[in-house]
Amino acid sequence: MVLSQELRLQTANRAFYQMFAVNREAMQNASLDSLENVTFDLARLRTQLQNMIADGSEFQAFELEHDFPGSGRRTLVLDAHPLSLSGFSRLAILLSFHDVTVRKEAEAANARLSAIVQSSDDAILSKDLNGIITSWNQGAERIFGYTSDETIGKPVTILIPADRADEEPVILNA
């Protein structure tokens, strides 16, 4: 969205109007405080925007969670930058809402899976297509007796008994 120095909405893209479930015409030149369906604290946002206008302070992007009508709970990163528009003598503000919900959910799922793998008593390791070990859990340390520092980056063949060494190339080529 583009805001005037008085923090009034000048224009925004379609995604903004859909996300906040507001009408474009009703929001034209409306105060930032008049956003419907907004339950997050606008004071922090307003303070940073006013400081950016008054003394050129850099806006410190921040994250917030909000329940949006129709799309539910979303995690957003708010960021703002001064914007000079040709034909206008006064600076405006470009305020962006980056939806990072999917990334945050993926990070949380990844952390849960990593915790499961790391706490498993079973040996869990991964290798790339060339047979090089890329991960090694604590179960593998207990079972094989090697630390992750000793195995990651090494060929998986270090784990194969000498009398079965000819099996790994067949597995890699399959």
Number of domains comprising the chain: 2
pLDDT of residue 137: 95
**Element containing residue 167 per DSSP (H, E):** helix 167-173
Rounded to an integer, what distance in angstroms lies between the CA atom of residue 104 and that of residue 89? Answer: 40
Q: Could you give phi then psi for residue 125, rounded to 5 degrees?
A: -140, 160
> Where does a domain end: 76, 101, 126?
101
Same domain, 119 and 154: yes
Same domain, 47 and 84: yes
pLDDT of residue 44: 85
- Asked if 33 and 50 count as a contact pair (C-beta separation under 8 A), the reply is no
Spans in the chain with pLDDT lower than 50: none
Same domain, 97 and 115: no
What CATH number is given to the structural domain containing 151? 3.30.450.20
Rounded to an integer, what distance in angstroms lies between the CA atom of residue 143 and that of residue 150? Answer: 14
pLDDT of residue 52: 92
Same domain, 72 and 115: no
pLDDT of residue 79: 96
Same domain, 10 and 49: yes
Domain boundaries, position 147: 109-169
pLDDT of residue 37: 58
pLDDT of residue 38: 62
Same domain, 88 and 48: yes
